[in-house]
Structure formats: structure tokens, C-alpha cells
Amino acid sequence: MKNSEHSVWGDSYWYYNASHVDPLNRRLEKKTWFIMFLLCPGPLKAQLGTTPNIKHIVVGRCLNYITLVNPSLRLDCEEIWRQFEEAVVRQSSCNVTVEDYNHMFYAMAQTWPCDKFLFWSKTRTLMHIYAAVVPHYWTLEDTLVGYMFNDLIWCGQEEDSEMACGNITVLLNGSIVNAFNRKSMFGSVELDSLNACRVDYVNIKVVTNLDGPFIESCSEGSIVDLIQILQSRGFRWTCTDNEETLMILQCIQNPKQASCQTCANSLSQIKSLTLT
């Protein structure tokens, strides 16, 4: 893939259209175990769009993660940064490979659970709410490397990875055209990295805004293309339109929506069952 500027979780397709839905490891087995976007060589400073003070941000996030988020990890954040920096400065071009980052990968090896990964595209806010309510899910931002590098920008390139196993979930925005976009982070990198031998089911969840527009679904639009790709690669899959939990979460954020009466009734039923 050609070099370009990225945030850790993808290009503009990964974060744009927030207005549409915003209301709403395992151990390292292969050297290419994670999707990394590699810094351009040279001094680590604000150049070519690189985030200013990136070292202080990355090391600080690392310390916060191992101190407050996951104290069970016993890692050296300064050493992780040194390995990262070494992989960058010793290169003469932006054509840095994942192999150049092996030492950093080993320095921050982390066990990831199967059956818990939640991928997403153009549903960032709802994804965070969903993952908070359903603690079963892990997003890339829950991992150490994702926590450290999330939203930071630099020149880089994508590499394949094998990070997901068991049943995985993909949350897509049905209120926009091309909910599944081959140029998005999920469509161009993460989907290609999935291993059909390690993934049992790809569970697609399509969610629309409460008031629409209702553009794509499991049987219409780009979601059909995604399903065809999964079938061609031997994946088993499921697809659900507007799962009740996702609609209820939107209604909690927007209780005055007319369509939330159904959600309110559902909540009342749940409350009654709880009190019984």
C-alpha cells in the first residue's frame, strides 16, 4: 500500500461522518501481530503533520495504561519508546516494515481474549457507548498499543495482522452510502488481516440514525458487498439490522425522538422483568 498520513485507527474514512451516527491475544505468534502505521524517519518532531510532543504523549499514555487501566502488565514504557524510535531513525525512507518494529512488539506483548473484538467504521461514538454497556467487547483502543497511539498522526504504511479470533463483531453505519467502504480502515486493512481459520463468525451489526436516513441494510447497499467478500474467503457470518440494544442506546442519548417510544416500552418491559 502506498504511504500516506493516518491516525492509528485509519484514514479520513475512519473518523468522518461522525454527525451521521454520533447521536447514537493472544500472545504474539507472528511478527505481524498488529496494524502499525510507521513514523517517517528523521527527528521525531512536528514535521509532515506529525503530532507535536509525540514522545511525551505516547510515554504518558503508556504509563497511564499500565498504572490505571491494566496494572497487571509489567512493562517499561521508556524502553517501548526507545524501540519505537530506533525503528524510525535508522531508516532512510518511509518504507519502514513491520519487521523493523519487532523489538517494540515484543517489549509490549499483551494477551488478547478471543470472541471479544469489536470492529467499527463511521460509528465511533456509538461504538464506545456500546462497548461500555456490553463489557464483553474489546476495541483496538482497549489494547496497549491502541491506547498509546490512538489519534496520533504521522507518515506511515499499513501492514497485515492477525489479532482477532473466535467470534468478532463489526458495527457499521446504515445511514450513509457505502457503510462498508473498501477504502476505509476496516475495509482496506483490518478485513484483509482476518484469518478465516481463526475466526468462527463475523457478526455484522448495521445501525441507522433514529430518524434516518435508512440507506443501507443487511440486504441492501455495500453491506451486501461485504457479505460477498466474507463468503468468498470462507468466513461464516451473521448480519443484524438495528439491533434492539443499539437502538435503546441511541434513545438514551436522544429520548425525545419519536421513534424512541418503542425503546421506552422495551425498557419498561426489562424493568418489569428485573423487579419480578
Among 140, 92, 121, 137, which Cα is nearest to 245's?
Answer: 137
| Nearest-angstrom CA–CA distance, 54 and 275 | 51
Q: Is 221 strand, coil or helix?
A: coil
Q: What's the Cα-to-Cα distance from 53 to each of 46, 89, 91, 131, rounded to whole Å?
A: 8, 16, 21, 30
| Nearest-angstrom CA–CA distance, 219 and 250 | 23
Phi and psi at residue 155, to the nearest 5°:
-80, 135
The three cell numbers locating residue 140: 483496538
- Based on the residue annotation, tell me whether 263 is a catalytic residue of this protein: no
Q: CA 134, 137, 143 angle in degrees (round to 5)? A: 135
Q: Is 152 exposed, middle or buried, given 0-12, 13-18 or 19+ CB atoms closer than 10 A? A: middle
Q: Is 48 strand, coil or helix?
A: coil
The answer to whether the beta carbons of residues 130 and 243 sit under 8 Å apart is no
What lies within 8 Å, CB to CB, of 63 at 6+ separation is: 77
**Pick the catalytic residue: 165, 239, 251, 260?**
165
- Based on the residue annotation, tell me whether 114 is a catalytic residue of this protein: yes
Q: Is 237 strand, coil or helix?
A: strand
| Nearest-angstrom CA–CA distance, 28 and 39 | 22
Catalytic annotation, residues = 114, 165
